[in-house]
């Protein structure tokens, strides 16, 4: 993932959260109409991405995200809790693999320190969602 860090190092701090929200809208356009407990699924030949609505408030939606690799069942599932802020149009990982106290990201060149885990989790979400977008575009051609 070092290539991703180099590409994103010079961008504005919020670009990642904004882009993740945009990707959620492209992959799952019916998110605003979801009810609590409802699930949506994206699947391709390699992976299955399932989101479930855990909580809805006036300005936010809390999603449970689970990624399973269908071609490699020995690879453990990836689980995240993601909060979508509809008024700000950003998505933020609030829990990753049952770790719920992710420290807020440092926007300086922080390197690999514990305080940087939240940024890394959001970068992982970005890579996952952008891979789904690329697959959708490939199938659309």
pLDDT one-digit tens code per residue, 5-62: 455 555 667 899 999 999 999 999 999 889 999 999 999 888 899 999 999 999 999 9
pLDDT above 70 as % of the chain: 74
pTM (2 decimals)? 0.79
Give the domain range for residue 31.
2-140
Per-residue pLDDT, 114:
55
Q: What are the C-alpha distances in Å from 136 to residues 8, 139, 140?
A: 23, 5, 6
Per-residue pLDDT, 46:
86
pLDDT one-digit tens code per residue, 74-98: 888 999 999 999 999 999 999 887 6
Three-class DSSP category at 140: helix
If you average pLDDT over residues 97-115, what whole number do you get? 55
Residue 106 has pLDDT above 50, yes or no: no
Q: Which residues contact 32 (CB under 8 A, 6 or more apart)?
A: 61, 86
**Which one is predicted more confidently, 39 or 136?**
39
Per-residue pLDDT, 134:
85
Q: DSSP string of 67-133?
A: EEESS-TTSPPEEEEEEEETTTTEEEEEEETTB--PPPPP-S---S-GGGHHHHHHHHHHHHHHHHH
pLDDT above 90 as % of the chain: 50
Three-class DSSP category at 41: strand
| Structural domains counted in the chain | 1
Per-residue pLDDT, 93:
93
């Amino acid at each position: 993932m070092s290539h991703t860090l180099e590409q994103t190092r010079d961008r504005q701090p919020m670009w990642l959260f904004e882009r993740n929200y945009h990707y959620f809208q492209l992959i799952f356009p019916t998110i605003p109409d979801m009810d609590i407990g409802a699930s949506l699924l994206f699947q391709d030949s390699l992976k299955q991405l399932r989101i479930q609505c855990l909580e809805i408030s006036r300005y936010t939606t809390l999603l449970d995200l689970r990624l399973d690799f269908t071609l490699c069942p020995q690879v453990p599932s990836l689980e995240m809790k993601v909060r979508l802020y509809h008024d700000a149009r950003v998505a933020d990982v609030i829990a990753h693999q049952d770790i719920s106290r992710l420290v807020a990201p440092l926007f300086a060149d922080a390197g690999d320190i514990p305080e940087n885990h939240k940024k890394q989790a959001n970068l992982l979400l970005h890579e996952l969602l952008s891979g789904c977008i690329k697959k959708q575009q490939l199938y659309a051609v």
